[in-house]
Amino acid sequence: MEKAIKPQKRDKSLVPLSREHHFGLLFCWKIKAGLKNKTDLLILQAYVKFFWENILKPHCQEEEWLVDRFLLPTDTLRERIEEEHRLLQWMIDLICDGKRHTSDQFQTLQKDLTAHIRWEERELFPYLQSVVAPEELELAGQLMAHHHKGQPVADDFTPAFWEE
């Protein structure tokens, strides 16, 4: 039996990133549902490109700005997030630039992104909260909020291929 994961108290400065993680997990679920529904892979390709450009790429840039600000270049968690972001971008580039697609490419992307998001929520964010002074996290949160300017994340891709 798998051990239940206890929800963690998230510093309010990291909450917007955690909310965006929800969209990332929903993206993964939609890809999985699309594969199950035998959606045309060109539609899935268009969705991956849409999600990368509008949601995931800016999110990754913001996370990297945050770890660059607070963690040393030799910190293993910083190295891991940077490496995983590069691998995710490589997979997305392969999907978006490719002429021939396989369902395995999309399946790998959704599995790897899900694992990455879970790692950030369960390990990276608690680590940041433990090593960064609360006032520094608050300042970073204010800078990120200013960057967002109150614009909510919207995954409004059509068609809704994930619906049966």
The label of the residue with tokens 């035998």 reads 38
The label of the residue with tokens 């433990």 reads 130
Banded model confidence at residue 148, pLDDT cuts 50, 70, 90: low
Which tens digits make up the pLDDT trace of 8-65? 678 888 988 988 999 999 999 999 999 999 999 999 999 999 999 999 999 999 999 9
Average pLDDT over residues 133-142: 90
Conformational region of residue 149, where left means phi above 0, alpha means psi within -120 to 50, and beta covers everything else: left
Task: Count other Cβ atoms within 10 Å, centred on residue 128.
Answer: 21
Q: Give the start-to-end residue ranges of the domains of the chain.
A: 15-148
Task: Count other Cβ atoms within 10 Å, centred on residue 68.
Answer: 11
Report yes or no: 13 and 140 within 8 Å, Cβ to Cβ: yes
Average pLDDT over residues 145-156: 73
Q: Which of 67, 63, 53, 50 is nearest to 21 (CA)?
A: 63
